[in-house]
Structure 1
Amino acid sequence: MLALMQLVFHFVFFKNQSDLLLALSDWQFVLLVVATVCIAAAGYVINNIMDQETDSVAKPNEVVVGKHLSESLAYNLYIGLNIVGVGIGFYLSNLIGKPMFSSVFIIVAATLYLYATSFKQTLLIGNIIVALLLGLSVIIVGVFDLFPVTFDENRIQMAVYFSILTDYALFAFVLNFIREIVKDIEDMDGDYNAGMNTLPIVLGKERTAKIVFFLTLVPIALLLLYINKNLLTLEWVMYYLLLFVTAPLLYFLIKIWSAKTKKDFNHLSLILKLVLLFGILSIVVITVNMKLNA
């Protein structure tokens, strides 16, 4: 999903803007995606290592580390993925003449480690970190693809593209923050046994579900305002977002109010993942619609 988001922006949206100068060639951008995915995968591995006790209770059939993969091999995989990700990030940063940009990859890798080992046990901090990192994966496209070739002559044009990236990053952040809370409700029993301090453990499932209900009003409101402000002239985009993004969110809103079982919350987590996917693919619809209107 993360890779798709980045690839769609570069190869579909940016590459179809005839007057847009990009800092990275296609193969260099693919390297950026590989670096991002490697660091995200490393975060997933270290999280699985630290979650062995929790997962054995919450989802025993999905346990990987300690069951299908030894802990020592998992640690080696974690280190290897981080080396590849940070190494590629260092190479690309120097390639575009911005060596300090490599620190982004180091900071993200370190944050994911801290998340897995300590932050996720703190109320809401872990949820915010994961959501922020997903939003950052959108912003980093602009940091590497647009910022190095932004000059006085094209600053206004680049600001427009950065604004679009920021809008998508904000939407991804809000949506993923909500999904992380839903996953906490789903994993509540395992988290409780592991001594976690998540929102559903503090407030209970029903109260947390009601909070999620009101939080979900935020992306729906943002989406409707965005459509009204920017997309009324792009009819196909407007219909697409209403049908494939807004409608599933409204369905989620109705279902979360009465959700009670682990199966219910697992289903709702999947709905949010699909909303995120359709949100990403809206870039394709926007690009095609702009081409037809040109």
Structure 2
Amino acid sequence: MADRLGAYSDLFRVGNSITGLVGVGVGALVVNGMEISIDQGVIITSYGLSVMCFMFGWNAYNDITDIETDKSNRPERPLPSGRLTLNEASNAMRGSLILSVLFLVIGATKLTDSIMDEEAFVSAGIWLIAIFLLISYEGVSGNNGLKHRGLAGNTAIAAAIGMDVLFGASAVSGTTDPKVISLAIMAILFSLARELIKDIEDMEGDIDRNTLPRSVGVDNARSIAWAITLAAFVSLFLPFILEVFPIEHAILVSPGGLILMLVKSKLFLGEDRAAQQLIKRSLQISMIGVIVSAMIVG
């Protein structure tokens, strides 16, 4: 039983999917601080669960479509290792996506008296854009998606992650708030740098993909990834410079910025996995700083 649960947990990438749920909460907190009503709490929770379930389904779909390359890159994954069958993964994917839609409807209905009202349309629109980006990344009906086209695929994934924050903000009608936009840009740049480095890490197994390191070479890809990492660093402190956040913001995100600066040495040494893990850790720590900063502003 425990082995089966572990296999589904790996299929869904539960840790990363929970991060999506947290991102929704962050988007809402950045707008309202701690001034969240019970009704808004229900909406935020519903939206967060919608994102988490969607990520469950998308991660399962990703494993289904990547089963051949995972035999080389990640043979320990549930499908190539035989811990789950293709049919089991497909059923899990469908169930997760149905739950995602259900939670979206619950949250949007709670947000307004009618799901046809403007605020519900904003939430549904963001959700649909994120789906479009991820479907474009994976491809459909046997057609190659953006993941086979290098930087375009990396950008689609990063943009979808940025949508997570906007989706959370839509729960409190705050998608145009400068604080939210700042956070979304930060998430996009962090994610784009990390996706590029992950492509370098997986290059040997990605024989059917025209990823950036395959197109321009590993060294050039690392240089581009470092340039985007620097842009992510700037995005941490630019909101303070533009007076979107108070001076406390610069102090609170500094630990994340310091971690981000360690990425260069890892890239130079060819330690790509360590580099992308540093970016992930930096984003997590920076998010905490942004939350506290937003609560101070609120």
| TM-score normalised by L of structure 1 | 0.81
Output the CA distance in 2 between the equivalents of 1:76 and 1:197: 30
Match of 1:252 in 2: 263
Match of 2:90 in 1: 75
Match of 2:252 in 1: 240
Deviations 1:16-43 (A, max 9, x none): 24xxx86943123211100011112211
| One of 248, 262, 276 as aligned partner of 2:283 | 276
Match of 1:5 in 2: 23
Match of 1:108 in 2: 130
SS in 1 for 2:70: helix
Paired residue total: 267
Residues 46 and 253 (structure 1), Cα distance of their counterparts in 2 relative to 1, 3 Å cut: same
Deviations 1:121-166 (A, max 9, x none): 122221111100100000112223225xxxxxxxxxx95xx11011
Match of 1:152 in 2: none
Match of 1:64 in 2: 78
Output the CA distance in 2 between the equivalents of 1:7 and 1:141: 6
Note if contact 2:34-2:295 (Cα within 8 Å) is conserved in structure 1. no
Once the two structures are overlaid, the 10-residue window that deviates more, 224-233 or 86-95, is 224-233
| One of 200, 203, 218 as aligned partner of 1:205 | 218
Within-5 A mapping of 1:135-154 = 135-146=162-173
Output the CA distance in 2 between the equivalents of 1:175 and 1:250: 12
Output the CA distance in 2 between the equivalents of 1:283 and 1:46: 32
Deviations 1:246-270 (A, max 9, x none): 11111112332x132xxx1111111
User: CA RMSD, aligned part only?
Assistant: 2.5
* Residue 37 (structure 1) aligned with residue 52 (structure 2): yes
CA deviation after TM superposition for structure 1 residue 119, in Å: 1.9
Output the CA distance in 1 between the equivalents of 2:31 and 2:127: 24
Structure 1 residue ranges without an equivalent (≥5): 148-157
Note if contact 1:249-1:275 (Cα within 8 Å) is conserved in structure 2. yes
| TM-score normalised by L of structure 2 | 0.80
Note if contact 2:127-2:167 (Cα within 8 Å) is conserved in structure 1. no
Match of 1:16 in 2: 34
Output the CA distance in 2 between the equivalents of 1:177 and 1:24: 34
Question: 1:113 corresponds to which letter in structure 2?
Answer: I
Question: 1:109 corresponds to which letter in structure 2?
Answer: I
Output the CA distance in 2 between the equivalents of 1:170 and 1:233: 18
% identical equivalent positions: 20
Output the CA distance in 1 between the equivalents of 2:239 and 2:132: 34
Residues 250 and 11 (structure 1), Cα distance of their counterparts in 2 relative to 1, 3 Å cut: closer
